[in-house]
Amino acid sequence: MNYNDYVPVFNKFKEKYKKDIELLLGVEVGYRKHLKNEIEEIINSNPFDFILCSTHTIDNIPVPSKVYFKGLSKEDAYYKYFNSILETNREFGDYNIYGHLDYISRYGIYSDNRVIYNDFKDVIDEVLK
């Protein structure tokens, strides 16, 4: 994303609509461990009002590619996903909310891709803490 373009365009609209609505400058961080320093530099050098952190990749494999699920049971794939969120929380806590915790269920290759709370209660409870 080109923040040098994003912020000025945002500011233009924030000013234009300031009588009608308060616009907040936001960004979604698809956290990846090897990009931690770059992510923090971007966050610290832009005036974000709101940061959404998300998990889109696990072990550098994009979840939507479905390669991630290959050879993994649903239980293993989903636990690994939720544990990666816990790891992100330990490494990177500079955000306001965590995005789409059910992201994994969009791309699963199983007969039932839903995240059933009771099946993953222990790790989901840790994530929600």
To the nearest whole angstrom, how small is the minimum distance from the Cβ of residue 28 to Zn ion? 5
Which is nearer to Zn ion, 53 or 77 (by Cβ)? 53
Q: How far apart are CA 18 and CA 13, in angstroms?
A: 8
To the nearest whole angstrom, how small is the minimum distance from the Cβ of residue 96 to Zn ion? 14
The pattern of x and - marking residues 91 through 110 that bind Zn ion according to CB under 5 A reads --------------------
Which is nearer to Zn ion, 14 or 101 (by Cβ)? 101
Which residues touch 54 (CB under 8 Å, ≥6 apart)? 28, 29, 30, 31, 98, 99, 100, 103
Asked if 54 interacts with Zn ion (CB under 5 A), we say: yes
For 98, counting Cβ atoms within 10 Å of its Cβ (0-12 exposed, 13-18 middle, 19+ buried), the class is middle
Which is nearer to Zn ion, 72 or 101 (by Cβ)? 101
Which residue of this chain has its Cβ atom nearest to Zn ion in the complex? 54
Q: How far apart are CA 6 and CA 105, in angstroms?
A: 31
For 55, counting Cβ atoms within 10 Å of its Cβ (0-12 exposed, 13-18 middle, 19+ buried), the class is buried
Task: Specify the stretch interacting with Zn ion by CB under 5 A; choose among 15-23, 51-59, 63-71, 72-80.
Answer: 51-59
Which is nearer to Zn ion, 101 or 123 (by Cβ)? 101
Positions in the binding site for Zn ion (CB under 5 A): 54
